[in-house]
């Protein structure tokens, strides 16, 4: 990081902190942080029965209740981005509200809880009202200065499709317009630069390709199908011999496990939906080194370099949940040895979740373990809860 970019990075962090800090939330957050400090980092080798698979449903229930609480914290129908120990519940976040919708619907159906479908419907209608006439969606928290964003639109597309398939009014029309916009602004090489983070291509946008693949299957749209395959194949072309990828392009941020898992999961799911097995094979090559690490250690690092060497001593809990989903998908395709590793990661996540703490964090999933790690420091993001819920439902099913 050079001096000018370093100053800009830390200035932006300070501004974000000053916007979020709340004295009321801080007065409640400090005791929570002290509790975390006293407890210390829970041993990833802890074999206590409260973390056993037999109690997994209890953890899932608590996490889904927390997601409901995060939605109720906002008046608009969207889902609060996170609970912060220094700022309380944050504003509704379009991107993650989008891909939480399928989780709400899946939980509603599998557990017979219609109130979670009602939550999904409410979130969908909120998103539809924010869609630009072009078909794209704004980034971040939909502030007036926010531009349209490819990644955010792709993640919202997941929710629109799940809602449409469940009969939610206007969802399919909104999904179609979003998908066509994504295809229209795509570069010839298959990646995105316009409306992309920092105006650069990113391999983890395979998550956008996955959403487009789902739309292509639902609508039989050849243009959308071609866009999905073009992006996934471009990302696969960036794979390095050791299985990691070039072109994450995260600016000054570490290459968190979160972004690596995005890339792998997107490749798998495009490959499965559009009959492109070479994409699944690429994802398996990228996953194998992590599977091998879990054979000799109980968890994964929060960030890695391009040689799969850990660059963090903390864990990215969001990334652990995502890698559980990656491993589950690979096990379903043709590599059953990944299944045990997926359950290992689920257990590790349960070790980090409180079932009896203050309501703001009961069932919530931390950004990092310990909570002062670099990924979403001192915060419980809604997307960590979403990915854990998906991973846990996969195991329980």
When pLDDT is cut at 50, 70 and 90, the band that residue 49 belongs to is low
Q: In this predicted structure, which of 19-23, 127-131, 163-167, 233-237 has the lowest mean pLDDT?
A: 19-23
DSSP string for 272-300: HHTT-HHHHHHHHHHHHHHHHHHTTSSS-
**Position 26 pLDDT exceeds 80:** no
When pLDDT is cut at 50, 70 and 90, the band that residue 41 belongs to is very low
Pull the structure tokens for residue 40: 């210390």
Sequence-separated contacts (24+) of 123-126 with Cβ below 8 Å: 123/71, 123/77, 123/78, 123/79, 123/97, 123/159, 124/159, 124/160, 124/163, 124/168, 124/171, 125/77, 125/168, 125/169, 125/170, 126/76, 126/77, 126/78, 126/92, 126/97
When pLDDT is cut at 50, 70 and 90, the band that residue 15 belongs to is low
Q: Which residue has the tokens 């060497």?
A: 309
**Position 170 pLDDT exceeds 60:** yes
Mean pLDDT, the chain, rounded, equals: 91
* Alpha-carbon gap, residue 56 to 384, rounded angstroms: 16
* Alpha-carbon gap, residue 79 to 120, rounded angstroms: 10
pLDDT of residue 357: 82
**Position 48 pLDDT exceeds 70:** no
Query: According to DSSP H, which parts of 194-276 are helical?
Result: 206-219, 222-237, 257-273
pLDDT digits (tens, 9 = 90+) for 171-200: 999 999 999 999 999 999 999 999 999 999
Domain ranges of the chain: 66-396
CB 244 within 8 Å of CB 306:
yes
When pLDDT is cut at 50, 70 and 90, the band that residue 2 belongs to is very low
pLDDT of residue 19: 60
* Alpha-carbon gap, residue 79 to 334, rounded angstroms: 36
pLDDT of residue 274: 98
* Alpha-carbon gap, residue 218 to 285, rounded angstroms: 29
pLDDT of residue 23: 52
pLDDT digits (tens, 9 = 90+) for 75-120: 999 999 999 999 999 999 999 999 999 999 999 999 999 999 999 9
**Which residues touch 264 (CB under 8 Å, ≥6 apart)?**
283, 286, 287, 323, 326
**Position 9 pLDDT exceeds 60:** no
CB 8 within 8 Å of CB 16:
no
* Alpha-carbon gap, residue 70 to 80, rounded angstroms: 5
CATH 1.50.10.10 is right for the domain spanning 66-396: yes
């Amino acid at each position: 990081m050079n001096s000018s970019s370093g100053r800009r990075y830390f200035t932006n962090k300070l501004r974000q902190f000053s916007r979020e800090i709340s004295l009321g939330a801080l007065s409640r957050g400090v005791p929570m942080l002290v509790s975390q400090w006293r407890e210390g980092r829970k041993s990833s080798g802890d074999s206590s029965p409260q973390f056993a698979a037999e109690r997994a449903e209890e953890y899932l229930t608590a996490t889904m209740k927390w997601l409901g609480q995060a939605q109720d914290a906002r008046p608009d129908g969207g889902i609060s981005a996170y609970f912060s120990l220094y700022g309380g519940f944050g504003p509704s976040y379009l991107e993650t509200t989008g891909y939480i919708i399928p989780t709400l619907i899946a939980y509603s159906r599998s557990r017979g809880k219609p109130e979670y479908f009602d939550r999904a419907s409410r979130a969908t209608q909120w998103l539809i009202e924010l869609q630009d006439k072009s078909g794209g969606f704004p980034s971040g928290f939909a502030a007036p200065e926010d531009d349209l964003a490819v990644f955010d639109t792709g993640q919202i597309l997941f929710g629109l499709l799940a809602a449409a398939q469940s009969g939610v009014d206007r969802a399919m029309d909104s999904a179609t317009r979003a998908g066509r916009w994504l295809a229209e602004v795509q570069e010839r090489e298959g990646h995105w630069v316009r409306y992309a983070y920092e105006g650069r291509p990113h391999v983890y946008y395979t998550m956008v390709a996955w959403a487009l693949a789902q739309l292509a299957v639902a609508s039989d749209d050849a243009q959308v199908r071609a866009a999905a395959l073009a992006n996934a194949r471009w990302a696969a072309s960036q794979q390095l011999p050791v299985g990691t990828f070039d072109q994450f392009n995260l600016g000054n941020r570490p290459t968190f496990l979160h972004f690596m898992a995005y890339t792998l999961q997107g490749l798998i799911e495009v490959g499965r939906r559009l009959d492109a097995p070479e994409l699944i094979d690429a994802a398996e090559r990228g996953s194998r080194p992590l599977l091998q690490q879990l054979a000799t250690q109980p968890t994964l690092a929060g960030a890695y370099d391009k040689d799969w060497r850990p660059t963090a001593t903390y864990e990215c809990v969001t990334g652990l949940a995502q890698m559980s989903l990656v491993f589950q998908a690979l096990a379903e395709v043709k590599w059953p040895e990944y299944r045990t590793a997926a359950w290992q990661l689920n257990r590790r996540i349960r070790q980090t979740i409180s079932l009896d703490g203050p309501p703001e964090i009961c069932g919530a999933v931390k950004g990092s373990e310990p909570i002062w790690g670099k990924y979403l420091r001192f915060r419980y993001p809604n997307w960590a809860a979403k990915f854990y819920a998906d991973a846990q439902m996969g195991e329980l099913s």
